């Protein structure tokens, strides 16, 4: 193993531990909003995309079951675009494609495409994905079990956990003028619509801001520039 591969794996596990700890907030919040411990754990194992999970339990907790599912699907659909971007880097086949699909999240994609070679990209993707998966699911189980022992979750602030945890996941992604503008526009729209629309609908409307920005331009390219890929080695 080269020093570069060790460095990538160290970075990947750092990301995994850091991001994975937010799973505790998700597990606790899910139980506080009426999900069982088993349901909270199953969501993290099977869905495994933090933003969608927080959106689902937050909106369902506010009384919008159908719109909560729609919001989760809308947020989770971005992973399909990540898959298109990662396919030439990972070059996986057979059962590994299913594993790669499950581990295609914000963090594994970001670490992978930031590497200078395809081999390093693959190391970054798999290590980050596995690290986040292990830490996120362990933390979800701990959070769900802890929340189940609390008579009034609001006492420790779990009713405010959705916004805090979602912001913590989102903030590191706001690295360009475009992403900051999209976040600001989506926030303003959601706040304006919340008093007049049912729970969950403002979230879907806010997601439309990102779709408008990413919609292909007149020459078939998205309005924002693509991230340079790793070279093959």
Q: What is the per-residue pLDDT across 201-227, written as a single tens digit (0 to 9) for each?
A: 776 777 777 667 765 555 444 544 444
Q: d(Cα 134, Cα 224) in Å, to the nearest integer? A: 33
- Identify any residues that bridge with 117 across adjacent strands, giving them in sequence order: 231
Q: Averaged over 22-51, what is the pLDDT?
A: 89
pLDDT digits (tens, 9 = 90+) for 127-186: 999 999 999 999 999 999 988 676 565 566 655 555 665 566 567 667 788 888 888 888
- C-alpha distances in Å from residue 68, one per residue of 21, 64, 71, 192: 23, 6, 5, 19
Are 128 and 108 a contacting pair, CB within 8 Å?
A: yes
pLDDT, mean over the chain: 79
**Between these two residues, 228 and 146, which has the higher pLDDT value?**
146
Measured at the alpha carbon of residue 169, what is the angle toward residues 20 and 33, in degrees to the nearest 5? 80
Q: Which two tokens stand for residue 230?
A: 């790793």
Q: d(Cα 177, Cα 100) in Å, to the nearest integer? A: 30
pLDDT digits (tens, 9 = 90+) for 186-204: 888 888 988 887 656 776 7
Give the pLDDT confidence score for residue 225 in this predicted structure.
43
DSSP 8-state secondary structure symbol assigned to residue 172: G
**Between these two residues, 60 and 118, which has the higher pLDDT value?**
118
Q: Which two tokens stand for residue 38?
A: 């088993």
- Residue 66, pLDDT > 80, answer no
**Between these two residues, 200 and 114, which has the higher pLDDT value?**
114
The 3-class secondary structure across 99-111, one letter per residue, is HHHHCCCHHHHHH
Give the pLDDT confidence score for residue 228 in this predicted structure.
43
Q: d(Cα 132, Cα 18) in Å, to the nearest integer? A: 8
Give the pLDDT confidence score for residue 128 in this predicted structure.
93
Give the pLDDT confidence score for residue 55 in this predicted structure.
77
Other beta carbons within 10 Å of 170: 14
Q: Averaged over 50-71, what is the pLDDT?
A: 71
Give the pLDDT confidence score for residue 182 in this predicted structure.
85
Q: d(Cα 12, Cα 230) in Å, to the nearest integer? A: 17
Give the pLDDT confidence score for residue 169 in this predicted structure.
56
- C-alpha distances in Å from residue 53, one per residue of 15, 42, 161, 212: 19, 11, 13, 23
Give the pLDDT confidence score for residue 37 in this predicted structure.
92
- Residue 113, pLDDT > 90, answer no
Q: Which two tokens stand for residue 143?
A: 């959070």
Other beta carbons within 10 Å of 114: 15
pLDDT digits (tens, 9 = 90+) for 77-100: 777 878 888 988 898 988 899 999
């Amino acid at each position: 193993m080269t020093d570069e591969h060790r460095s990538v794996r160290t970075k990947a596990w750092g990301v995994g531990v850091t991001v994975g700890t937010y799973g505790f907030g998700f597990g606790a919040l899910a139980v506080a909003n009426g999900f069982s411990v088993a349901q909270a754990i199953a969501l993290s194992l099977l869905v495994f995309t933090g933003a969608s999970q927080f959106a689902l339990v937050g909106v369902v907790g506010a009384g919008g079951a159908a719109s909560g599912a729609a919001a989760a699907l809308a947020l989770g659909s971005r992973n399909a675009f990540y898959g298109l971007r990662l396919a030439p880097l990972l070059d996986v086949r057979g059962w590994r494609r299913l594993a790669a699909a499950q581990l295609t999240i914000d963090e594994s994609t970001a670490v992978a495409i930031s590497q200078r070679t395809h081999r390093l990209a693959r190391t970054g993707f798999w290590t980050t994905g596995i690290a986040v998966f292990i830490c996120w699911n362990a933390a979800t189980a701990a959070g769900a079990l802890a929340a189940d022992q609390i008579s009034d979750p609001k006492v420790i602030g779990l009713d405010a956990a959705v916004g805090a945890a979602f912001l913590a996941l989102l903030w590191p992604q706001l690295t360009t003028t475009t992403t900051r503008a999209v976040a600001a526009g989506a926030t303003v729209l959601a706040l304006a619509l919340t008093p007049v629309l049912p729970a969950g609908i403002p979230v879907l409307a806010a997601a439309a801001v990102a779709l408008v920005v990413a919609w292909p331009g007149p020459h078939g390219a998205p309005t924002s520039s693509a991230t340079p890929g790793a070279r093959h080695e």
